[in-house]
A and B are shown apart, each in its own frame.
Chain A
Amino acid sequence: MRSEQFDKLLPGIGVLGLILLWYIGYWTRIVDPVLLPSPDAAFIALWKGMSGGRLLHDFFQTVIRTFAAIAVASVVAIPLGIVLGANEKLYRSVEFVVDFFRSTPASALFPLFLVIFGVGDATKIYVASFGAALVILFNVAYGVMNARKTRILAARVMGASRWQVMKDVILMESLPQTFVGLRNGVSLALVIVVVAEMFIGSVDGLGHRVFEAQQLFNMPDMYAAIFAAGALGYGLNIMFLLIEKSFVHWSGK
């Protein structure tokens, strides 16, 4: 019993260890104090920023862009992935293109999107959607293609039509893989949005905040923005995991 309680505290050890190392680095001045402020300075900046300060505004801008990107990506990629997955020949014919652009760092495409869509929000959202969409597309198509043969046969032998097999079996079968795609897609979208926010023409967002704080040598603010971005990424992942668990309770069983 006592050891179980102790086990729950284990993840805290890493956190405490990191903070301790940070203090040691700060006190011993191994690292230039201009680059490494004290942990309390960083956490005060985080606290102030997130309780109604500018950081909170930037945080929400990044959240909104990331969600917008994932929404656009889902609307395009999920139906397309289903169609491609259901027609294996069609998928094979576009597989190389999908894989190629899936492997291309989306950040490399940002200047191109800037030229096409201008410097507004749309560019950031679309370039993140582009990256996320390919990840989602790939996963949905594979989920559909790898639907268990036996389940499809089971439905067919019970008299299901092609459409019923598609809707009741193949779609459900592809859900776990679709959620894997969404989870990876949202992580990628966040990365791309934050990078895009560092580019010219940005006025807000966590990327902008980190970049601006660095330019102004406001290190506590910069660390605060980095932690906010980390918390956002971690939170999004947990959120999608929870959604996944309640939607596809059978996954992995």
Chain B
Amino acid sequence: MTMNAIAPVIGPYRTAFGPDGNPPAHITARGLCKEFQGEVIYDNFNLDIPRGKFVSIFGPNGCGKSTLINMISGLVPVGKGDILFGGKTLADTRIGYVFQNYREALFPWMSAFENIHYALKLRNVADAEARERVKALVARLGVKLDLSRYPYELSGGQQQLVSIMRALIVEPEVLFLDEPFSALDYEMTLFMRDQLQRIFEETGTTTVLVSHDLEEAVYLADYVLLLSRRPGRIADFPMVPLPRPRNDETLSRPDFVDLKRHCLEIFQREVRRP
């Protein structure tokens, strides 16, 4: 059933729903266990995240969505289990991570430019080259932003855009975003969704987004990972076979609406499960 030859599969799991594409995996998590103060969050959890695809994670409050991506990105230690990135360990993998709380994630003592530049400095990229790369990224994303400003002088959306650029500048193999837009107002959220979509289409980076907004989760994703309540299991992992770029019309397409309804049913089944 798995297409991954690197790590053995423990326990049953599925990667795709619907038109079974079985895409090649990039991240493989096997036998993950995690508890917080005796509370079991994951018990023998297995997951494959496909390469070069956009995966949205959706599930009940407190089910362990953040914990999952934090374990994968090394921010939280795993209790037990193995996580590999195309067979490599985390230490050999460049990742980018965008936090929900941009106010507390950017460094206010550095200008926006320096914030982005710092990620390259940590990777020992020479200063001149690093500056060129920041400029190139800005040009490529078509960002209209005064990068000489300090984070606190920027709007919430602009700050989060800087966070995303800081994550992207190292050309990560995987980009993680934990509810990146939930602190923004609605207009900004819509704008940022499309920025993120554009960035994904532009870079083709394996992207994992945690979202509490089902419409957003489906709209952006190639696959939607629906998690159960604790202890976490994959409730479903449907493919989103909608063409890109997606836009306002996507939202009213019957197949989009159907898929969203399907996800909502799974979600409600999980929430109501005793």
Contact = CB atoms under 8 A, between A and B. Distances in A.
* A, B co-complexed: yes
B99 interface: yes
Contact of A151 (B104, B123, B152): B104
Nearest to A175: B109
A158 interface: yes
Interface in B109-133: 109, 118-119, 122-123
A149 B99 CA distance: 12
B199 to A, nearest CB: 18
Given A158-B119, A158-B122, A158-B170, A153 B75 contact: yes
Contacts of A150: 99, 101, 104-105
A154 B166 CA distance: 10
Nearest to A171: B109
A149 B150 CA distance: 20
Contacts of A159: 122-123
B152 A164 contact: no
Contact of A156 (B75, B101, B106): B75
A150 B70 CA distance: 12
A40 interface: no
Given A150-B99, A154-B97, A157-B74, A164 B122 contact: yes
User: Interface SS of chain A: helix, strand, loop or mixed?
Assistant: helix
B107 A151 contact: yes
B73 interface: yes
Contacts of B119: 158
B97 A157 contact: yes
A143 to B, nearest CB: 13
Contacts of A168: 107, 118
> Which of A148, A154, A156, A159 gathers most chain B CB within 10 Å?
A154
B150 A249 contact: yes
B109 A157 contact: no
Interface string A147-184: 01111011111111000100011001001000000000
Interface residues of A, number: 21
A250 B105 contact: no
A253 interface: yes
A157 B75 contact: yes
Nearest to B169: A158
Contacts of B109: 172, 175, 248-250
Contacts of A169: 107
A253 B152 contact: yes
Given A168-B118, A250-B152, A154 B123 contact: no
B73 A250 contact: no
Contacts of B152: 250, 253
B108 interface: yes
Contacts of A164: 122
A153 B95 CA distance: 13
Contacts of A250: 108-109, 150, 152
Contacts of A253: 108, 152
Interface string A214-225: 000000000000
Contacts of A249: 109, 150
Interface in B122-157: 122-123, 150, 152
A175 B97 CA distance: 26
Contacts of B105: 150-151, 154
Contacts of B108: 250, 253
B107 A158 contact: no
Interface string A178-208: 0000000000000000000000000000000
A157 B150 contact: no
Nearest to A153: B75
Contacts of A154: 97, 99, 105-107
A19 B166 CA distance: 59
Interface string B79-101: 00000000000000001010101
Ordered nearest first, which 3 A-B pairs have the shortest CB separation? Answer: A250-B108, A253-B152, A150-B104
Given A157-B97, A250-B108, A250-B152, 10 more contacts: A150-B99, A154-B105, A154-B106, A156-B75, A157-B73, A157-B95, A159-B123, A168-B118, A169-B107, A249-B150
19 contacts: A148-B104, A150-B99, A150-B105, A151-B104, A154-B97, A154-B106, A154-B107, A157-B73, A157-B95, A158-B118, A158-B119, A158-B122, A159-B123, A164-B122, A175-B109, A249-B109, A250-B150, A250-B152, A253-B108
